[in-house]
Amino acid sequence: MVRQSRKLDHLKFAMQLDDGPSTNAFEDMVVIPNCLPNLRCGDIDLATTVAGIPLQLPVLVNAITGGAADVTDVNSRLAEFCRLTGCAMAVGSQYAALEDVSVRESYQIIRKTNPAGVVFANLGAHVSPDQAKRAVDMIEACALQIHLNVAQELIMAEGDRDFTGYLNNIEQIAAHVAVPVIVKEVGCGMASEQIAVLSQTGVRGIDVVGAGGTNFLAIEAARSGISLEADALEWGIPTAISAIEAASVIPDTVDLIISGGVRSPMDVVKALCLGGKAVGIAGPIVRSLEEKGVDPTVAWFERFITDLKRYMLLVGAENIPSLQKTPVVITGYAQQWCFARAIDITRYAVRKHG
């Protein structure tokens, strides 16, 4: 029951704690306007493809809730939101349900509520290929997320302390499950070195999940009643910078997802401009569902999507591939980071539409 109560704590503190304290670094990205867009509002197409899976929208409701009887209603509301909006959805870690069959319903309710939706399974990198298959089958998943959360585990009193063999294990899982595998961080971002080696394991997607959004280190500290130093709370790579790191090495065979503090329609535009095929959003949606309910949250999201389309028109991008050709100037701390890391960012600023 420890794992179940942990998941309830994660949800509770995710609702209570603010993002950060790190910034997502999207403020260092300036998208170049196009005053001659030659488009109509009705021309904007948000369809995309991630890991070979067609998505109606470039928005994934990312994993935040795990297995516990008390989160069944939360997952049901999330699934209903996704059914009504067309968003894809990732569940939280299913390891609890592999240990205790009594909590499987807290995951399976998602597929019951949204039978035709795009749903991603989720497990840690330590699991066996057989366990990965079981997690996929449990919810008839379209893809499997494998999460990397070393920093979180180290803060967690009952967390793992052995992280050996992860890369080989991810390769084995990708070779044995029948659905695409996506590797994701949980809020500390990824550097180009690790993205490069992960891209050679047979995975189909990388979700950087950088710093600047829901902070699982702060959540674990709150769970344990401990105080973390600022250096610990700010650990990680800001999301936009991690996305640039990823885009510098990721091959065409692996799709980039950008998550971690994506909060506004302009954040989405910037993430897609940096090369993302989709973005992940969790905290704001879960919080709105808890505080306001499904219908008001759907109405908020519809306005969010309308604004996203408006920004796309303002830069002259009729679809996601066009956004990825939109010029972006990278400034400030992100620029300094990329210079120090020998990442050429001028390619973003000088690219042309078409």
* For the chain, domain boundaries: 2-350
Q: What is the pLDDT of residue 227?
A: 84
The candidate with the shortest Cα–Cα distance to 62, out of 203, 245, 185, is 185
Helix (H) / strand (E) element for 175: namely: helix 166-176
Q: What is the pLDDT of residue 332?
A: 98
Percent of the chain whose pLDDT exceeds 70: 93
- What average pLDDT score do residues 265-290 get? 96
Predicted confidence (pLDDT) per residue in 158-214, tens digit: 889 999 999 999 999 999 999 999 999 999 999 999 999 999 999 999 999 999 998
Rounded to a whole number of angstroms, the CA Rg of the chain reads 19
List CB contacts of 155: < 8 A, sequence separation 6 or more. Answer: 217, 220, 221, 224, 228, 232
The candidate with the shortest Cα–Cα distance to 272, out of 258, 255, 252, is 258
On whether the CB atoms of residues 90 and 53 are closer than 8 A, the answer is no
Grade residue 4 by pLDDT with cuts at 50, 70 and 90.
very low
Assess whether pLDDT exceeds 70 at residue 1: no
Grade residue 17 by pLDDT with cuts at 50, 70 and 90.
low
Which residue do the tokens 């891209």 mark? 199
On whether the CB atoms of residues 309 and 318 are closer than 8 A, the answer is no
Predicted confidence (pLDDT) per residue in 182-198, tens digit: 999 999 999 999 999 99
On whether the CB atoms of residues 57 and 276 are closer than 8 A, the answer is no
The candidate with the shortest Cα–Cα distance to 246, out of 202, 194, 171, 185, is 194
Q: What is the dihedral of CA 100, 128, 62, 190, to 10 degrees?
A: 140
DSSP secondary-structure letter at 33? P
d(CA 95, CA 160): 13
Q: What is the pLDDT of residue 67?
A: 58
Q: What is the pLDDT of residue 216?
A: 80
On whether the CB atoms of residues 269 and 312 are closer than 8 A, the answer is yes
List CB contacts of 211: < 8 A, sequence separation 6 or more. Answer: 20, 22, 24, 187, 188, 189, 234, 235, 236, 237, 238, 239, 242, 260, 261
Reply yes or no on domain 2-350 having CATH 3.20.20.70.
yes
Which residue do the tokens 């499904």 mark? 294
The Cβ-side half-sphere exposure at 125, using a 13 Å CA radius, reads 24
